[in-house]
Amino acid sequence: MRRIKVFVGILGMDQHELGAIAVAQTLRDAGMEVIYGGRFNVPATVVKTSLEEDLDVIGLSCHSWEYLHYLPDLFTLMKEEKLEVPVVVGGSVITPGDRERLLEMGVAAAFPSGARNEEIIDTVKNLAQ
């Protein structure tokens, strides 16, 4: 059985990388293969990596509000490429209102600050199936 393959990265100029690194390590320790994209990604890079790596889930860490700007472009490119991979977003700036907005945009799951590792792992496993 193939391991779950997850991209973890950050969109735009957001430089807060500690949360993304922590989640990447948590998913790796849970037995998943993690492709770490790091900082300064744009939607086209995320889509290209997703296609090349045959990903099961895209995980985006956000600690600034740039993700609200980039997500529509990401979903447009994914649709153009017929890329059907669930997108998960997590970070300290996600308010309950933003979470609802993200889910309406098409994000599969959104985690605010303080989300438990088990919740993130279980969600990624469920979305990958």
Per-residue pLDDT 10s for the chain (129 aa) are: 689 999 999 997 766 788 899 999 999 999 999 999 989 899 999 999 999 999 999 999 987 777 788 999 999 999 999 999 999 998 878 888 889 999 999 999 999 888 999 999 999 999 998
Give the DSSP letter string of 71-96: HHHHHHHHHHTT----EEEEETT--H
List the CATH code of the domain at 5-128: 3.40.50.280
Which tokens go with 1? Answer: 């059985």
Which tokens go with 44? Answer: 């086209």
Domain ranges of the chain: 5-128
Give dist(CA 4, CA 57) in Å, integer. 8
Q: Which pTM does this prediction carry?
A: 0.93
Give dist(CA 79, CA 62) in Å, integer. 22
Contact 39, 89 (CB under 8 A): no
